[in-house]
Amino acid sequence: MEKAMSNFMRLSFKNVFRNRRRTAITGLVLVFGATALILAGGFIAYSFRGLRESTIHGELGHIQLFNKEYLLHEEDRPLELGLDSADAMKKKIMMVNHVRFTMARIDFMGLISNGDKSEAFLGRGVEPDKELKLSDLGLNMDRGQFLDQDPSDMKDNQVVLASGLAKTMKAKLGDYLTLMTTTSTGALNALDVKVVGVYSTGIPEYDERALMVDLSTAQQILNSKKVTKLVVVLDQTDETIKVAAQLEKMFPNVTAKRWFDLATFYNSVVRLYNAIFGFLGIIIFVIVVLSSSNTMMMSIFERTKEIGTQLAVGTSRLRLMLNFVYEGLIIGVLGALLGLVIAYGVSVLINNSNIMMPAPPGRTTGYPLLVDTVPMLFVGVFILMSLTTVVSSVIPAFKASRLKIVDALGHI
């Protein structure tokens, strides 16, 4: 049976190459389609990768650990549902494979005052040295510098302000401001902090309200030893899911949020571009199907008498149809393979030629045009392009198999 299939495959193979010019044209369309999809897909994959890493390193880290309750209920008081023994947890986390480092953060809010006026703020208590390890935040200060690395030496409690908030507070470097919040026990507390730097988050709404202080400063004003969350940074993004599962097992009362659970912007960008890419795929699929079904139809029309002969000598209609579908499959597979090779070549060429894309809106610098070679994309495009000619051969093949034998034989 299998043997018989390969025999008919051989016949289809020979038929594919009887009209080389036409096969070449169909092949060319396939090559074009495969190349276009792989380059577009590779560029999108490259962009996703960039966006993913900047999402992780700009803010989220790979995994964030919360008290289970924190995500379920509103806190009545600051840090009420925080993590208790952050330091002990950190030690354990550091033992886990692929963990580069872990750091605590505290989210809190309150009022900030310069003596003349007060504004609401969204504060974050951080471990400055580790925040700098995660991102290039320290290098992107608008003015001044990031929080001091070693809090034990600090005489003053330091603060860095987001640019909008600095402006409303009319704060200059070295100024003292007062933070006011409720503590974890419900009392009111105030603390003077010294402005050491001003930064921008890139998101205007945040820039109006955000500020950062050292973790110990935050704990001091909130009167608590707890932290809101632990941020875990890995050496490989691909390990995120595995490590998160491992951490949840380690700490039963903790929920591990993976970066993509938290990255709403990244997720919506990915969804949008995947939709665009899917649409592109459909368009190319349709173009290839239409153009190749036309040539397929022509080649069947030319062979009408031969089809009549094959049916007369006892070929079943199903067999005949299959033989034509094989032809489609053969052209598809060969064209798709050639397309992959060419697409790969072009990718390498592009990646080596240092083409710069113009700066996107809101940025001052352009970025290099690069395309990732994603194995799954190659597999997907290969299957899709191989299928196009199978699909486009089905209707002509069916028509051929329905021909009336006497009419077909009489066809000149």
Which residues of this protein are in contact with another protein, per CB under 8 A?
1, 3-4, 7-8, 11, 14-15, 18, 305-306, 308-317, 319, 405-406, 409
- The nearer residue to another protein, 47 or 299, going by C-beta atoms, is 299
**CB closer to another protein, 228 vs 401:** 401
Query: 103 has which bridge partners?
Result: 231
Q: Which is nearer to another protein, 63 or 311 (CB)?
A: 311
Specify whether the CB–CB gap between 310 and 403 falls below 8 A: no
Q: Given the complex with another protein, which of 40 and 408 has the nearer CB atom? A: 408
Rounded Cα distance, 150 and 214, in Å: 9
Q: Label residues 85-114 b or e (16+ Cβ within 10 Å = b).
A: ebeebbeebeebebbebbbbbbbbbbebbb
Q: Which is nearer to another protein, 17 or 279 (CB)?
A: 17
- Half-sphere exposure in the Cβ direction for 44 (13 Å, CA): 19
How near is the Cβ of 305 to another protein at its closest, in Å?
Answer: 7
Contact 370, 293 (CB under 8 A): no
Exposed e or buried b per residue across 222-239, where buried means at least 16 C-beta atoms within 10 angstroms of its C-beta: bbbebbbbbbbbbeeeeb
Residue 308 CB, nearest distance to another protein (Å)? Answer: 8
**Considering beta carbons, is residue 290 or 406 the nearer one to another protein?**
406
Gyration radius of the chain over CA positions: 32
**Tokens 């973790």, residue located:** 215
For residues 382 and 141, give the distance between their C-alpha atoms in angstroms, rounded to a whole number: 47
Phi, psi of 321 (to 5 degrees): -60, -45
* Beta strands 210-214 and 118-126, pairing class: parallel
Q: Of 135 and 309, which CB lies nearer to another protein in the complex structure?
A: 309
Query: Cβ of residue 310: shortest distance to another protein, in angstroms?
Result: 7
Residue (168 or 309) nearer to another protein, CB: 309
User: Beta strands of 200-277 (E only): which ranges?
Assistant: 210-214, 229-234, 254-258
Sign of CA dihedral 366, 371, 374, 377: positive
**Shortest reach from residue 396's CB to another protein, in Å:** 18
Task: Tell the smallest beta-carbon distance from residue 411 to another protein (Å).
Answer: 11
Closest CA to 107 of 139, 153, 133, 75: 75
CB of 407 to another protein, least distance (A): 9
Q: And the tokens for 135?
A: 């991102």
Pick the closer one to another protein by CB: 61 or 308: 308
> Which DSSP helix (H) or strand (E) runs through 197?
strand 188-199
Handedness of CA 334, 335, 340, 345 (dihedral sign): positive
Parallel/antiparallel/unpaired status of strands 158-162 and 99-113: unpaired
Q: Which of 369, 282, 354, 341 is nearest to 38 (CA)?
A: 341
Closer residue to another protein (CB): 308 or 328: 308
Q: How far is the CB of 13 from another protein (least distance, A)?
A: 9
Q: How far is the CB of 313 from another protein (least distance, A)?
A: 6
Q: What's the one-letter identity of residue 141?
A: M
Q: CA nearest 215: which of 306, 129, 278, 90?
A: 129
Q: Work out how close the CB of 400 gets to another protein at its nearest, in angstroms, rounded to a whole number.
A: 14
Least Å distance, CB 12 to another protein, is 10
Comparison of 91 and 317: residue with beta carbon closer to another protein: 317
Q: Closest distance between another protein and the C-beta of residue 7, in Å?
A: 5
